[in-house]
Amino acid sequence: MFSYLANRLLVMVPTLLAISALVFIIIQLPPGDYLETMIGEMKARGEAVDLGQIESMRQQFGLDRSPVEQYFAWLGGMLQGDFGWSFEHRRPVSELIGERVALTVVVTAATIIFIWVVSFAIGTFVATRQYSVSDHIATLGGYLGLATPNFLLALVLMYLASEWFGLSIGGIMDNEVRELPWGWAKISSVLEHLWIPVIVIGTSGTAGMIRRLRANLLDELQKQYVVTGRAKGLPPTRLLWKYPLRVALNPFIADIGSILPEVVSGSAIVAIVLNLDITGRMLLEALRAQDMYLAGSFLMFLALLVVIGTLISDLLLALLDPRIRLGGGTTR
């Protein structure tokens, strides 16, 4: 197990390096840099531009160096916990993103758990009642859930909430607790607001997962050992829980790798619509303003979230599924 873990961690290093290079290229893509945008804005406002000061800022942020040097400086800084400087907010990036990053992790984890719980319940229910009314309803709902983009779902929910109940469902916490230090009041406020984004982000993932669980379970239910169990006189529920369900549960863990990018993607745009204090809006603004280190840190963090999530799912799978041989990575 340890060698497997070490092996997986080792493989992660080049992946993360490639991702960081990609992120850096993307945030470098727009022509010019933030200082040029700033000069343009100052000129537009008719302010005098102090070229000397600009030049010293350029040196201070290393913008005068070659892109390769800048990349390694950025990478080295990140490894030491220094994510660079946000030009727009005039604060270190790490101060800005800390809380948002934590909340993003909370929302993502809650969404994954939501997907698991709901799709487990519905998937098992409909698979054991193939072609029944509830099965057809679930299938239709699944198609709709897959086809409705989550930001539109968020929009509709917000509209309905304000139309029917006259309340605003946006935000990740109440405004009163926003400035408070982290404590029970703040946490409970977050929990109260959490369910809407979780449902909105999780719907399409749940629909997909129900489909997969249903198909898997139907395959298993036709197998001979199930027939044997039934012939032996096992009660249906016990039979279901004891064997086929356990086999069919594999995608719950194995598919995190494909669901997680979707959930993280979804949380970014839903956060903008629902006005959540997670990565979404600040990333959008940073991208628009060419605030490169802020945008880069967000992108890097989102990718890291996916990579680590996939790692955890692989480890869990190795623990839970005895058919997976751990030596596979080294002796392939």
Partner 1 sequence: MSAADTRDERLAHFVDDAPFEPAAEVALTPAQERFYMASQWKLMWWKLRRHRIAVASGIFLLALYVVAGFAEFFAPYELQHRDRRFIYAPPQSIQLFHEGRFVGPFVYGMRMQRDPETLQPLYKEDPGRIQELRFFCAGGYRGSEYAFWGGLFEGDFHLVCPARGGTLFLLGTDRLGRDMFSRILYGARVSMTIGLIGIVLSFALGIAIGGIAGYYGGWIDNIVQRAIEVLKSFPRLPLWMALSASLPVVWSPIWIFFGITIILAMLDWPGLARAVRSKLLSLREEDFAVAAQLMGARPPRIIGRHLVPSFASHLIASASLAIPEMILGETALSFLGLGLRPPITSWGVLLNEAQNIQAVVLYPWLMAPMVPVILVVLAFNFLGDGLRDAADPYK
State the nearest-atom distance from the C-beta of 192 to partner 1, in Å.
Answer: 19
Give the phi and the psi of residue 92 in degrees, each rounded to 5: -65, 145
Nearer to partner 1, 84 or 266 (CB): 266
Closest CA to 125 of 110, 142, 111: 142
- Does 22 bind partner 1 (CB under 8 A)? Our answer is yes
Instruction: Select from 92-100, 219-227, 243-251, 282-290 the region that touches partner 1 (CB under 8 A).
Output: 282-290
**Cα separation of the two ends of the chain:** 16
State the nearest-atom distance from the C-beta of 180 to partner 1, in Å.
Answer: 26
State the nearest-atom distance from the C-beta of 178 to partner 1, in Å.
Answer: 19
Q: Check: CB of residue 8 under 8 Å from CB of residue 312.
A: no
Q: Which of residues 211-240 bind partner 1 (CB under 8 A)?
A: none
Nearer to partner 1, 198 or 268 (CB): 268
State the nearest-atom distance from the C-beta of 10 to partner 1, in Å.
Answer: 14
Binding flags for partner 1, 129-158, as an x/- string (CB under 8 A): --------------xx-xxxx-xx--xx-x
Residues near partner 1 (CB under 8 A): 14-15, 18-19, 22-23, 26-27, 29-31, 143-144, 146-149, 151-152, 155-156, 158-159, 162-163, 168, 170, 257, 261-262, 264-266, 268-269, 272-273, 279, 283-284, 287-288, 295, 298-299, 302-303, 306-307, 310
